[in-house]
Amino acid sequence: MAKIIVVTSGKGGVGKTTSAAAIATGLALRGNKTVVIDFDVGLRNLDLIMGCERRVVYDLVNVIQGEAGLNQALIRDKRVDNLHILPASQTRDKDALNLEGVEKVLDTLSKDFDYILCDSPAGIERGAQLAMYFADEAIVVTNPEVSSVRDSDRILGLLASKTRRAERGEEAIKEHLLVTRYNPARVDSGDMLNLDDIREILAINLIGLIPESEAVLRASNQGVPVTHDADSDAGQAYTDTVARLIGEEVPLRFHLYEKRSLLSRMFGGGRR
């Protein structure tokens, strides 16, 4: 049976879909048969970041509404054989999703995959609640900003109360914190929350820290998950995150501010 992991956030624009694509790719590169599902009906960005937007014929809503089979809607990743994408619909609204249909899709996928990642819409509306309802684990994505962290705290409340595990009184969803767009220099100057502040507010296990990096934007524009950019700091940080997710102990990187010398500032260039 597959492990179902929801990638969620309280606020939009924090890098949630980028993270879902990068983590799914990292899991597949480690030999795990992985599928990532876009639950953001009406917007649909996952296929763009995965570079398969032109190959979308059927989507999650088509499957749930009985208009296509699951195998017709699944798209095999071009770079990693054991990675698949199930895109969202761009023309329907979120009411097209229902609990029974989502459960059937997840149950069917669980027979063939090791990991199912659910890329949730931001916020607390129906699509987000359906994405998290059947989850075994949750990756809560936040930026080091007060508003983003506060909204993430609301998501933790939903994970504790509005999921199948909560309704059945079963073991709670395992929650992980992923901090994105972390800039140690801005943290040092007081413009961003530091890691201790974020962990104190949310009180969940930190699974990864993704530094602010040009590589993320570059990868998104190219339709290639940043995990493939092994030379970039962001690519390495997502690889570290995946390793921790599967139980390995990996030291935290990219969180300390290193003051650069004058020569380094003149000739060193920007962050990759």
Owner of token pair 């949750």: 138
DSSP state string for 8-69: E-SSTTSSHHHHHHHHHHHHHHTT--EEEEE--TTT--HHHHTT-GGG-SS-HHHHHTTSS-
Non-local (6+) Cβ contacts of 227 within 8 A are 22, 23, 25, 26, 29, 235, 238, 239, 242
Antiparallel, parallel or unpaired: β 83-86 and 75-76: antiparallel
41 is known to lie in a ligand binding site: no
16 is known to lie in a ligand binding site: yes
13 is known to lie in a ligand binding site: yes
51 is known to lie in a ligand binding site: no
In this structure, what token pair is assigned to residue 99? 């609990």
H-helix segments, the chain: 16-29, 46-49, 60-64, 70-73, 99-110, 126-133, 146-161, 164-168, 184-188, 195-202, 214-222, 233-245, 262-267
208 is known to lie in a ligand binding site: no
105 is known to lie in a ligand binding site: no
| Integer Cα distance of 44 and 173 in angstroms | 26
142 is known to lie in a ligand binding site: no
Please say whether the beta carbons of 3 and 138 come within 8 A.
Answer: no
CA distances from 44 to 48, 59, 90 (A): 8, 10, 6
C-beta neighbour count of 124 within 10 angstroms: 17
269 is known to lie in a ligand binding site: no
85 closest CA partner among 42, 54, 122, 125: 54
Residues annotated in a binding site: 11-18
Known binding positions for ATP: 11-18
